[in-house]
A and B are shown apart, each in its own frame.
Chain A
Amino acid sequence: MTQADARLSVLKTYKLYVGGKFPRSESGRVYEVTDAKGRWLANAPRASRKDARDAVVAARKAVAGWSGATAYNRGQVLYRVAEMLQGRREQYVAEVADAEGLSKAKSAAQVDAAIDRWVWYAGWTDKVAQVAGGGNPVAGPYFNISAPEPTGVVAVVAPQESALLGLVSVLAPVIATGNAAVVVAAEERPLPALSLAEVLATSDVPGGVVNVLSGRTAEIAPTLAAHQDVNAIDLTGADAELARELEVAAADNLKRVLRPRQPYDWTADPGTGRLTAFLETKTVWHPTGSLGVSGSAY
């Protein structure tokens, strides 16, 4: 036996990410995660509906601070996420290769694309208002201005197949505009998402802005869809039957629902569709000041 073999390897305990902390599932449950060939990789926490409830509470608490931060500041924070990802690139290349059964080169391409996507959305934070809002012409002495505002707490059912690039592509646009997210990680491939949480925790993203749950999608997602304090849900990772069930549950309290057409090509130009999906438009009327016979302007 060589010296290197004699050392016990230190296995990582994957945990949930809720409110900026890394708790185990309240239920104490875990499930086995295997690589694409069926070999055991790690045990991931199997979140219960109470974990989902706690995550929504954490997200709700984070909304005021995150949506109140300046768009420029949010952009800096998201850019820092990309920086942190870049620093741990090798780890993600290995994790994505294991999870998706890709070659190292293909996996590296996925990770690079994921990092680039963070940067891309980081650039959008202070530009989305100009694209999704603006001045409206009205027949009266008013300035009429529409401005986009974040919807609030958004539940995200992350795509099942693309564990990192797909996840980043659905998560980044949600938080770029000032929403807080509760993410249900890919059921069979949750490890890149749980590792991404470690990056988020160390890159100035306030606790609670992103919460990551792993476990059975069909167990966690219905709780989020029915939750009265979740404002919107993204059904990207739900299969057709589950998506239908979730849409029914979400309709009960008029949640905003995003149900994109499948399959989704994560390598394509993402466009602004996801960025504007979780925005509400606020329109204000303001007198121009040219009222009155005297023509006085204040």
Chain B
Amino acid sequence: MPRIPTAAAGPPASLADVTASDGALRRFLHGLPGVDPVGLEARAAALGTRSIKTTAKAYALDLAVSMIDLTTLEGSDTPGKVRSLCAKARTPDPTDRTTPEVAAVCVYPDLAAVAAEALAGSGVKVASVATAFPSGRAALEVKLADTRAALAAGADEIDMVIDRGAFLAGRYLEVYEQIRAVRQAAAGARLKVIFETGELSTYDNIRRASWLGMLAGADFIKTSTGKVGVNATPANTLVLLEAVRDYRAATGVQVGVKPAGGIRTAKDAVKFLVLVNETAGDDWLDNRWFRFGASSLLNDLLMQRQKLRTGRYSGPDYVTVD
């Protein structure tokens, strides 16, 4: 198997000069081809009409379960709630041991230690949000301290947010330098960069942010925090998928994608998997390269699995209450 270059090193030699100055970076990002919104949304909608049945559906459901970053990001989170979520992450459906584990549990940094302890010995990773999630409005030193605290608590993955204010004001190099700094602070961990696509107003901006994040060394690019009105939609996820496909074609570096927020049904999840397969390709159909940031999605996937197994429609009485 060929060794896949990692993103951590920063921009490859072929693109080294685009981050040399603010002007060069701006020219590069604004030189990216524009997104045709009508075509994009039509393509995303068309791919959502695929009919996935029987064995393909069973495969898709299990794959989707294995790709979930089971998330709890509430002010009211307690260690007990995180522990019960971790138990669910390890054994999503206690009535069916063939159910795969989820990919990770995603929590706030102060609860990462609780999650790390509860997940010890399993294949489930600990993901922690950091850098003044969800607004990203704090001094760089604070963001770096936040990141270090999460890592010290045992996080395997860091979900950082970009400074949307700086991005929308056109200070691209500042956003780039911040991601680089967090990237260096989180050496060894997988870094997911959240763009909060619902706040970027245009698909062109989402494409620029995607390239900016990948140039700065993101292992994953992620749509949303789940804290604003518009979260992951098929269309904005499609922009991200096109970006990672083009980035690998240009540089040979593979970057993962994580839509987050608003994906609640198994049907939606399968639609996203179709998008992945048809856009980025089946190299991404693995929880190393594609994740769902979700919480209630898991219950619906489990109910659908039970339906496939027993032939009866299941109900919320047969899965855990989160």
A226 touches B315 (CB 8 A): no
Bound complex: CA A106 to CA B292 (Å): 61
* Residue B322, interface by CB 8 Å: no
- B278-322 CB mask vs A (1 if < 8 Å, else 0) is 000000000000000000000000000010000111111110000
List residues 218-233 of chain A with CB under 8 A from any CB of chain B: 223, 226-230
Partner of B315, one of A223, A229, A252: A229
State whether A228 touches B311 (Cβ < 8 A): no
Report the interface size for chain A: residues with CB under 8 A from the other chain: 11
Pairwise interchain contact A252-B312, C-beta atoms closer than 8 A:
yes
Q: Which residues of B contact A53 (CB under 8 A)?
A: 313
Interface 0/1 of A240-268, CB less than 8 Å to B = 00000000000011000000000000000
Name the one of A56, A60, A226, A253 contacting B311, with C-beta atoms under 8 angstroms.
A226
Give the CA-CA distance A223 to B310 in the complex, in Å: 12
Chain A nearest Cβ from B95, distance in angstroms: 12
CA of A80 to CA of B225, assembled, Å:
46
In angstroms, how far is the closest chain B Cβ from the Cβ of A108? Answer: 41
A257 to B112, CA, bound (A): 48
Complex CA–CA separation, A229 to B319 (angstroms)? 11
Contact among A223, A229, A252 with B314 in the assembled complex (CB-CB below 8 Å):
A229
For window 48-90 of B, CB contacts with A under 8 Å fall at none
B313 touches A56 (CB 8 A): yes
A230 to B311, CA, bound (A): 15
Interface residue tally for chain B (C-beta within 8 Å):
9
Decide if the interface of chain B is mainly helix, strand, loop or mixed: loop
CA distance A226 to B317 in the complex (A): 14
CA distance A56 to B315 in the complex (A): 10
Q: Which residues of B contact A60 (CB under 8 A)?
A: 315-316
Q: How far is the CA of A56 from the CA of B317 in the complex (A)?
A: 14
Query: Cα distance A278–B318 when bound, in Å?
Result: 21
B312 to chain A, nearest CB (A): 4
Highest count of chain A CB atoms <10 Å: which of B306, B313, B318: B313
Inter-chain contacts of B315 with A (CB < 8 A): 56, 60, 227-230
Q: Roughly how many angstroms separate A49 CA and B316 CA in the complex, as a whole number?
A: 19
Q: How far is the CB of A183 from chain B (nearest CB, A)?
A: 18
Closest to A53 in B: B313
Q: Which residues of B contact A229 (CB under 8 A)?
A: 313-317
How far, in angstroms, from A56 to B314 measured CA to CA in the complex?
11
Tell me the complex Cα distance, A226–B312, Å.
Answer: 6
Contacts of A227 in B (CB 8 A): 312-313, 315
B76 to chain A, nearest CB (A): 21
For the complex formed, measure the closest distance between the CB of B137 and the CB atoms of chain A, giving whole angstroms.
37
Q: Mark B175-216, 1 if CB is under 8 A from A, else 0.
A: 000000000000000000000000000000000000000000
CA distance A253 to B313 in the complex (A): 11
Specify which chain B residues have a CB less than 8 angstroms from the CB of A230 in the assembled complex. Answer: 315
Q: Tell me the complex Cα distance, A41–B170, Å.
A: 66
What is the chain A residue whose CB lies nearest that of B316?
Answer: A229
The interface residues of chain B lying within 8 Å CB-to-CB of A253 are 312
Q: Closest B-chain residue to A227, C-beta based?
A: B313
The docked-state distance in angstroms from the alpha carbon of A229 to that of B312 is: 10
Chain B's closest residue to A224 (CB) is B313
Q: Contact mask A156-182 → B, CB, 8 Å, 1/0? A: 000000000000000000000000000
Q: Tell me, in angstroms, the Cα distance from A53 to B312 when the chains sit together.
A: 10
Chain A's closest residue to B313 (CB) is: A227
Residues in B whose Cβ lies below 8 Å from that of A223: 313
What CA separation (Å) do A220 and B313 show in the bound complex? 13
Q: Kindly name the residue among A56, A60, A228, A230 whose own CB sees the greatest number of chain B CB atoms within 10 A.
A: A228
New contact pairs (20) apart from A56-B313, A226-B313, A228-B314, CB-CB < 8 Å: A53-B313, A56-B315, A60-B315, A60-B316, A226-B312, A227-B312, A227-B315, A228-B306, A228-B312, A228-B313, A228-B315, A228-B317, A228-B318, A229-B313, A229-B314, A229-B315, A229-B316, A230-B315, A252-B312, A253-B312
A-B contact pairs, 18 of them (CB 8 A): A53-B313, A56-B313, A56-B315, A60-B315, A223-B313, A226-B312, A226-B313, A227-B313, A227-B315, A228-B306, A228-B312, A228-B313, A228-B314, A229-B313, A229-B315, A229-B317, A252-B312, A253-B312
Minimum-distance CB pairs A-B, first 7 = A229-B315, A226-B312, A228-B315, A227-B313, A228-B314, A53-B313, A228-B312
